[in-house]
Structures are given as structure tokens and as C-alpha cells.
Amino acid sequence: MNPSNSDRSFAGSIPQFYEQYLVPLIFEPYAKEMAARVVALQPSCVLEIAAGTGVATRQLAAALPSTTSIIATDLNQPMLDHAASIGTVRAVEWRQADAMRLPFPDGAFDAVVCQFGVMFFPDKAAAMSEARRVLRAGGMFIFSVWDHIEQNEFADAVTTALAGVFANQPPRFLARVPHGYHNQAVISSDLARGGFAAPATFNTVARLSCADSPRIPAVAYCQGTPLRNEIEARDASRLDDATNISTAAIAGRFGSGRVESRIQAHVVSAVR
């Protein structure tokens, strides 16, 4: 598999592991905050891009009035299928869509929301241009991106551990993609190239990531993200070994019982 395709492939059992382990570990606290920011805008129609298994979608559906329409999209149909199988407290339209070629008319939405998806877009300025195109004048594009991997300690511990497992070709997915788009100047430049003229607002938000055992974050990252694709491309027989070594590394750094670590992200708001 081409590395760029591998980085964006959430297939097989990845959606299930992602939802079961990664969502409560790192995504739920930010989904609640994202929903609160969108509610404050009082939108009548909201588009979510790169919705994944729907963690932010569920919070939006619970927080926004029933009169606010929500369309949740993702490039990966297996992720959307899993999101739809979980469901929401009220009606949401699930739709497969490429963020760089959105199938919606100009000015159709009051808000475009993207929780931890921008990092996966191969042409970020193009995706931002599309987000701007489908926003009405004065509408808001709100998205979140992870900060540097060193500020996200479980991910850092797993990446360091796997460098020892595959010394000749260390798997760098976590550092390269989810934690590879944190520079605020670069993000601002991409927004400007996407047509957002006004300076964006950046809020850096730190939280604690907690799990009942070191095994949970190890499985979350090694088997619930495209890091799994990297591991299996090197040696498919070593997925369990890589997970076990990551578990030991997390235990060595954070303890063998209940563990917690720092996570940190930027929440970015840009007005059309």
C-alpha cells in the first residue's frame, strides 16, 4: 500500500478498535468542547467533515436544537458505517464525501466543523478553500489539530517504543500525521491560501488522557489507527508483539495500574 494511502486507510477492524479504545482515551473531552463552541454560534445548518466514528457528531446532535440540521461526512465509508451503527440522539445525515471536493452548494452552511481530521488532508489549503466555499458569509470554520507529539505523552511513548521494534524502519505515523500539523504559522498560511482573509483564532487546550491499564492506550494506537497499517507492512506477524512492547513502555513510564498522561491540541476558528 502506498504510504500516503496507508496513512488515510481506516479499514478492517480499525474502526472498531478506534471507537472502543481511542475515542474515550483522547477524543471525547475535545468533542464536548467542540460542540459547546458550535452551540455558541447558534447555527441553523452544520457540516462536519472527517467525522470518523462520530464522536463529535454525537456531541453536536445532543447539544444543538433539533431544528439545526447536521450533515456528517467522512472519506472512509467503514468509519461512517460504524458511526451510523452507534447512532445519535436525533436525526443526522451521514454522507461519504471528500473534504477537498465537497458535494454541497456555495454558502450552504453556518458552520463547518472538523475534529482532528485536517491533518489527514493531502492538500490542506484545498480542503480549507472547500470549507470556505460552502460557508455562508460570516460563517465559521472550526477545527482541531493535535499539538506536537511530545505534548501528547501516550502517543510519544508508543512511537519511541516501536522505534526499537523496527529499528531499520521505525513506524512514524503518529508523529508524521496526527501530530505533524501543529505549527500555527503553517496553519494560518494554509487558511489564507484557502481564502480565509481574517486572522484565525487559536486556543491551545490541554487535557488528561486516562485509562484503566497501560494495555488500553497501546491497543488504541497500535490497532485502532493507521499505525497498524505501518506495523503490518513491516511484519504482519508482529502486531501483537508491537502492542505488547508498547504496553510495557507505557507501564514503565506511567505505571502498571491506572495510567494518565498529558494530551494537548489547538482549536482553530476562522470566519468566512
Cβ proximity of 258 and 213 under 8 Å: yes
CB atoms within 10 A of CB 17: 19
CATH number of the domain within which 66 lies: 3.40.50.150
Q: Cell 496553519, residue?
A: 187
Longest dimension (CA), the chain: 55
Q: Per residue of the chain (272 residues), what is the pLDDT tens digit?
A: 445 567 767 768 788 898 999 999 999 989 999 999 999 999 999 999 999 999 999 999 999 999 999 999 999 999 999 999 999 999 999 999 999 999 999 999 999 999 999 999 999 999 999 999 999 999 999 999 999 999 999 999 999 999 999 999 999 999 999 999 999 999 999 999 999 999 999 999 999 999 999 999 999 999 999 999 999 999 999 999 999 999 999 999 999 999 999 999 999 999 99
In 40-199, which ranges are E strands? 45-48, 69-74, 93-96, 109-115, 135-146
When divided into structural domains, the chain yields a total of 1
Judge residue 83's burial from the number of C-beta atoms within 10 Å of its C-beta, 0-12 exposed, 13-18 middle, 19 or more buried.
Answer: buried
Identify the three-state secondary structure at position 113: strand
Full-model pTM: 0.94
Domain that residue 220 falls in? 3-271
